[in-house]
A and B are shown apart, each in its own frame.
Chain A
Amino acid sequence: MREHDGPVNTIRPDPDALLRTIGRQDGVRGRLKLFLGAAPGVGKTYEMLMQAARRRDAGEDVVIGVIETHGRAETEQRAAGFEIIPRRAIDHRGQSLHEMDLDAIIARCPALVLIDELAHTNAPGCRHDKRWQDVEEVLNAGIDVYSTLNVQHLESLNDVVASFARLRVRETLPDRVLDHAEIEVVDIPPGELIERLKAGKVYVPQEASRALAHFFSHSNLTALRELALRRAAQAVDAQMLDYLRAHALEGTWAAGERLLVAVGADAGAQEVVRAGKRLADSLSAPWTAVHIETGPASPNSALPNSGSREELAAALHLASQLGAQVATVPAAGLAEGLAHMAADLRATILVLGQGARRGLFRRDALSAQLAALGLGAALHIVPRAAPRRRTAPPRDAPFDPAAWLLPPGLLISGALIACVTLAGVMFAALGSVTNIALLYLLPVMLAATRYGLWTGIVTGLLSSLAYNFFFIPPVHTFTIADPQNLITVVVLLAVAVVVSHMAGRLRDTAMLSRASAVRSSALAGFARQLTGIGAAGDLGRVLCEEGAGLLGCYTVLLMPQDGALAQIAASPPDTALQALDRVVAQWAFDNRRPAGRGSDTLSAAEWLFLPVEAGGKALAVLGVAHPDAAQPVRADLLPMLTSFLDQAGLALDRIRLEAERGQMRRLEERDALRAALLSSVSHDLRTPLTAVIGLLGNVTPADPEQERVLALARAEGERLQRFVANLLDMVRIETGAVEWRPEPVDLAEAVSSAVHDLRYLLGARPLLIGIAPDLPLVRLDPRLLHHCLINLIENAAHYSPAETPIRIEARPDADGLDLAVIDAGPGLPPGAEARVFETFTRLEGSDRKGGTGLGLAIVKGFAEAMGLQARAANRTDGSGACFTLHMPGALLWKESDQP
């Protein structure tokens, strides 16, 4: 492209920079008008000269920068009246080349300069590689430019043209050159152009004449013409959009292009898909690939012509990989189906393969049919890449003599012909020979309607032979003396063909609607089956069986269980997946995209895995595999399977929700049961104890001995009561049934309430309470804290001599504050600091104190439930134990927390 040697390069302006300056120099920059043509010879240069002449005649200063007349007399004549700036001679490796003199043009500074062939590549040694760059410079000098261009030179369309015209153009220019140009399409109908070519009015270089001869085919020209028109329209649209946007106007944007690509079941299908993709890309249009299914197809039966099936599947798969929406639509006829789809999708361009469909009466008449159906889209015909003959036509069943000699249709036809011949002989005996030919229509029509085209034709042939042999003079020979009788034979054959064709269409339509009905009812039936299902396993089984039935393949459903995908169901049920397939399934599940064979991910697997989704979440993956591992599954039926999966996804989601609700209900029931049990146990244990202790108090002792016994009984009852209370608390902790509702608690108040409740136990024991009056409130559950404090103070009282004081202190520290209960007892045995909070832990030699061994465990359980830490330690001076509840700073009530 660009040259990187030579001193001129340094002064070569960057085209991008030049383009960027357009906006700034708007008033100065010249305007570009492009004469766009579909092919050489349409008359661009001529038209340019005509228009330039008009401006010259209006008194403007118009010169010719460069013009290629290719020796056409008309053009040369037109150019004669203009001032021509002489070309510059450039010496290149001893050759003298003549190129446009850019500097001379700029120096001459006309109002308008004509520069032909915008796509021209300059000779080495010119300032710019390409002529369009020269034009940019001229425009920047404030000179208007008229130029010409053939559409295939546009970079974005180059590939497209190359793909169908088999002529790759090396001289290309970027599409953006068009962006600011005024475009005029120079258009003549293809037929006329071909006429001009034949008349020698189109310049054709000798060496390219063969290629060009192909290039100038009617279909190529049609496509090129369409491209030119569309591209011009697009540029106008873009300019209008820019204008509207620049002026902040809303509204009338041109609607975007939408492509519909018809995919046939033939070898060229993939080429059509690729062409559609290119066109869609260059037009930035969304596209849909559709296969119109007109042939007999039952979803559950293997198709006879599997070769073309594979072509179709491959083409549809390619389309979906290239970003198309893919659909398979049954319709009575190709044209009807396409017209319908185009209308449904509001397609603006319908891309067809040339001869994508071959029918006896439909060859090349598809566009006419589409037009008759009022197709609203433009047609884009993709030519066949190579005229290679197909060994067998895809749709019309191959002629297989082995299968043909025996079919019952022929036998029956033969028998009928025999009968008719017999009847004919009898009629002939009665004298009427001419009408006997009509009798032979019977077997022909029967065979044609019942057994199809080939049987019909053979029957027609046989009938005419029989008629010929038995009735046409000379009788009992195959010779036909009277040419009139030849007509009879031909008519018989023609009837066979016409009738069988019509009947065939009728049969196809019937089978098609049956197939369509089968699918609809399959989907409806599937949906109905799903509604009654309450378990994922049942759903998996139904999905697997239906999927297997639909595609005629193996299926397997995987769902996550305990963090890994597990096989829920399969058809056949004993299907097992390989390790690789499991990896693929996992990938499909994790990424919610199809993976495996036939997809674009991990395609080495035997299985294709499709995610089953609902609510943007993958719930399962369905794997499908062809029973013959070498075969891919039928891609054309995958959209159908996808609707199954959508249904299944919804059903699975419903089942999952129901299961979750059930689980929740069970949990709630269990919680309620536990709460009821605790409450009932606590009631049943406490009530009799209350009665026992209370009733003992009501007894009036008769003597001191009785009084002593009564007091002892009462004390033991109270001890049992405390034990029961602790036991119930412990059960609450261990079963996680501790309920707590935090509220701001004043520690001084809480300690005071605990001390009040223990006033009888503590008696006259000195208490030293050191809690500052301005201590922050703490967010705690007051009841749980109360229990903790009671147990801690009780514990301190138990493990220290009765006369020693118990100290209760609240001390703020770096992280929150500590509430400490400190006794003056013997302290904890070394190493018991952590163990002391364990259930049923009692310190050595403490049995006499009669503790339950649960008190401290309850403290720990309640404290932890509230987010506190319970700690035990010996006092640093060794004079007793210190139990601390540590309250983290997060629990402290701050002024800012106040509502």
Chain B
Amino acid sequence: MISHDGQDMTGGAKILVVDDEMAIRRLLRGSLSRTGMDVVEAANAREALAALNIDKPDLVLLDLGLPDRDGMELIGPIKAGKAALLVVSARDATGEKVAALDLGADDYVTKPFDTEEVLARVRVALRNRLLAENAAPLVRLGAVEIDLAARIVRREGAEVHLSPKEYGFLAELVRYPGRVVSHAAILRAVWGPGQEQAVEYLRVAARGLRRKLEDVPVEQSMIRNEPGIGYRLIV
């Protein structure tokens, strides 16, 4: 697990739920407030923008299908306010999810969703928000220890030799633990601009990482593949 235990940090966090469906808002409000979070609701983009300014939420749960505006247009204002952003979409299109992630969304959940999963994602996003302000140089994931300062990866104490690209890939995921990072974002960060389409590099690097770092690679206990979207570091 991550060295910072963020369980306490989620308590008292202010969450803005933007969804035009009253039932969904009620559902999320119920689940979130039971864990001690403070929930603000918005039924459309106009209300959401107002709530962003007045309530200064720590995290926004945003439905992309809003009655007055495309939810995509809200991503900018939300990220400007330093709030974490979790996209909730009924649309199954991978392109839209990837676009939302590339615009700065921290993660996404597809409707129909499991409330427990939403809660888990919310916790990860809130934790990452704090981590981003206070990046830890040493990250521990079970038996694997990643020293971002020294660029060294150890497994059960022994140094594991990674290729530069494998290390870059892992470091990029570690930077956003628990959160899906799109293919294009990893490729851009590690392979450089212009390589955003070369998904096969990622496949090969992910194979190498799993072989070197996971006990049973097929279980994806550390690096999870999100089909068509990206990779997620399991925390």
Instruction: Indicate if B21 sits at the interface (CB-CB under 8 A).
Output: yes
Instruction: Indicate if A246 sits at the interface (CB-CB under 8 A).
Output: no
B11 to chain A, nearest CB (A): 19
Contact A893 B200 (CB under 8 A): yes
A743–B226 CA distance with the chains assembled, in angstroms: 13
A893–B28 CA distance with the chains assembled, in angstroms: 43
Instruction: Indicate if A698 sits at the interface (CB-CB under 8 A).
Output: yes
Contact A691 B24 (CB under 8 A): yes
Contact B228 A743 (CB under 8 A): yes
Contact B203 A746 (CB under 8 A): yes
- Per-position binary interface string of chain B over residues 202-219, scored 1 when its CB falls under 8 Å from any chain A CB and 0 otherwise: 011011000100000111
B95 cross-chain contacts in A, Cβ below 8 A: 741
Contact B203 A721 (CB under 8 A): no
A777 cross-chain contacts in B, Cβ below 8 A: 200, 203-204
Instruction: Indicate if B27 sits at the interface (CB-CB under 8 A).
Output: yes
A666 to chain B, nearest CB (A): 24
Q: A682-B92, A688-B23, A745-B203 are in contact. Are A752 and B218 (CB under 8 A)?
A: yes
Contact B228 A689 (CB under 8 A): no
- Per-position binary interface string of chain A over residues 142-166, scored 1 when its CB falls under 8 Å from any chain B CB and 0 otherwise: 0000000000000000000000000
A468 to chain B, nearest CB (A): 107
9-residue interface stretch from B45-53, B75-83, B110-118: B110-118
Q: A694-B31, A698-B115, A898-B200 are in contact. Are A769 and B227 (CB under 8 A)?
A: no
Residues from 141 to 178 in B contacting A, C-beta threshold 8 Å: none
A773–B208 CA distance with the chains assembled, in angstroms: 9
A365 to chain B, nearest CB (A): 84
Contact A683 B220 (CB under 8 A): no
Contact A781 B228 (CB under 8 A): yes
A404 to chain B, nearest CB (A): 91
Contact B112 A773 (CB under 8 A): no
A690–B27 CA distance with the chains assembled, in angstroms: 9
B225 cross-chain contacts in A, Cβ below 8 A: 746, 749-750, 752-753
Instruction: Indicate if A805 sits at the interface (CB-CB under 8 A).
Output: no
A750 cross-chain contacts in B, Cβ below 8 A: 225, 227
Number of interface residues of A (CB under 8 A): 43
Instruction: Indicate if B224 sits at the interface (CB-CB under 8 A).
Output: yes
Instruction: Indicate if A697 sits at the interface (CB-CB under 8 A).
Output: yes
In chain A, what residue has the closest Cβ to B63? A687
Which residue from A692, A739, A773, A893 sits with its C-beta under 8 Å from B217?
Answer: A773
Contact B207 A748 (CB under 8 A): yes
Residues from 673 to 712 in A contacting B, C-beta threshold 8 Å: 679, 682-683, 686-695, 697-698
In chain B, what residue has the closest Cβ to A718? B112
- Per-position binary interface string of chain A over residues 754-798, scored 1 when its CB falls under 8 Å from any chain B CB and 0 otherwise: 011000000000000101010001000111011000000000000
Q: A683-B91, A746-B203 are in contact. Are A689 and B112 (CB under 8 A)?
A: yes
- Per-position binary interface string of chain B over residues 19-34, scored 1 when its CB falls under 8 Å from any chain A CB and 0 otherwise: 0010110111011001
A460–B163 CA distance with the chains assembled, in angstroms: 119
B94 cross-chain contacts in A, Cβ below 8 A: 741, 782-783
A211–B65 CA distance with the chains assembled, in angstroms: 104
B: contact size bracket: 35 or more
Contact A687 B23 (CB under 8 A): yes
Instruction: Indicate if B136 sits at the interface (CB-CB under 8 A).
Output: no
A693 to chain B, nearest CB (A): 7
Contact A744 B90 (CB under 8 A): no
Contact B111 A686 (CB under 8 A): yes
A777–B204 CA distance with the chains assembled, in angstroms: 9
A697 cross-chain contacts in B, Cβ below 8 A: 31, 115-116
Contact A682 B91 (CB under 8 A): yes
A746–B197 CA distance with the chains assembled, in angstroms: 15
Instruction: Indicate if A7 sits at the interface (CB-CB under 8 A).
Output: no
B171 to chain A, nearest CB (A): 20
Which residue from A688, A698, A786 sits with its C-beta under 8 Å from B30?
Answer: A698
A710 to chain B, nearest CB (A): 14
B10 to chain A, nearest CB (A): 18
Instruction: Indicate if A173 sits at the interface (CB-CB under 8 A).
Output: no
Instruction: Indicate if A751 sits at the interface (CB-CB under 8 A).
Output: yes
A751–B218 CA distance with the chains assembled, in angstroms: 8
Contact B23 A695 (CB under 8 A): yes
A752–B220 CA distance with the chains assembled, in angstroms: 7
B67 to chain A, nearest CB (A): 12
Which residue from A686, A739, A748, A756 sits with its C-beta under 8 Å from B90?
Answer: A686
A845 cross-chain contacts in B, Cβ below 8 A: none
A893 cross-chain contacts in B, Cβ below 8 A: 200
A744–B203 CA distance with the chains assembled, in angstroms: 8
A140 to chain B, nearest CB (A): 76
Contact A749 B27 (CB under 8 A): no
Residues from 180 to 203 in B contacting A, C-beta threshold 8 Å: 195, 197-200, 203
A698 cross-chain contacts in B, Cβ below 8 A: 27, 30-31, 34, 115
In chain A, what residue has the closest Cβ to B116? A697
In chain A, what residue has the closest Cβ to B27? A694
Contact A693 B112 (CB under 8 A): yes
A695 cross-chain contacts in B, Cβ below 8 A: 23, 26-27, 30
B49 to chain A, nearest CB (A): 22
Contact A746 B21 (CB under 8 A): no
A433 to chain B, nearest CB (A): 110
A764 to chain B, nearest CB (A): 14
Contact A749 B203 (CB under 8 A): yes
A28–B112 CA distance with the chains assembled, in angstroms: 103
A752 cross-chain contacts in B, Cβ below 8 A: 217-220, 225
Contact A748 B217 (CB under 8 A): yes
B70 to chain A, nearest CB (A): 13
Instruction: Indicate if A899 sits at the interface (CB-CB under 8 A).
Output: yes
A690–B115 CA distance with the chains assembled, in angstroms: 9
Contact B27 A744 (CB under 8 A): no
B24 cross-chain contacts in A, Cβ below 8 A: 687, 690-691, 694
Q: A686-B112, A697-B115, A750-B227 are in contact. Are A773 and B199 (CB under 8 A)?
A: no
Which residue from A679, A741, A749 sits with its C-beta under 8 Å from B91?
Answer: A679
B204 cross-chain contacts in A, Cβ below 8 A: 777
A751 cross-chain contacts in B, Cβ below 8 A: 218
A311–B179 CA distance with the chains assembled, in angstroms: 92
A785 cross-chain contacts in B, Cβ below 8 A: 227
Contact B112 A690 (CB under 8 A): yes
B30 cross-chain contacts in A, Cβ below 8 A: 695, 698
- Residue from B30, B34, B113, B227 having most chain A Cβ neighbours under 10 A: B227
Contact A690 B113 (CB under 8 A): yes
B62 to chain A, nearest CB (A): 15
Contact B199 A756 (CB under 8 A): no
In chain A, what residue has the closest Cβ to B92? A682
Contact A753 B111 (CB under 8 A): no
A782–B92 CA distance with the chains assembled, in angstroms: 13
B224 to chain A, nearest CB (A): 7
A689–B199 CA distance with the chains assembled, in angstroms: 35
Contact A748 B23 (CB under 8 A): no
B206 to chain A, nearest CB (A): 7
A693–B94 CA distance with the chains assembled, in angstroms: 24
Other A-B pairs, 11, CB within 8 Å; known A688-B23, A691-B23, A695-B23: A683-B90, A686-B112, A693-B112, A695-B30, A698-B31, A743-B228, A744-B203, A746-B225, A750-B225, A752-B217, A786-B228
A-B contact pairs, 24 of them (CB 8 A): A683-B65, A686-B111, A687-B90, A687-B111, A688-B21, A690-B27, A690-B111, A690-B113, A691-B23, A694-B24, A697-B116, A698-B31, A741-B228, A744-B199, A744-B200, A744-B203, A749-B220, A752-B219, A752-B225, A756-B219, A769-B218, A773-B207, A781-B228, A783-B92
Query: Ordered nearest first, which 7 A-B pairs have the shortest CB separation?
Result: A691-B23, A782-B227, A690-B112, A744-B200, A782-B228, A694-B27, A683-B90
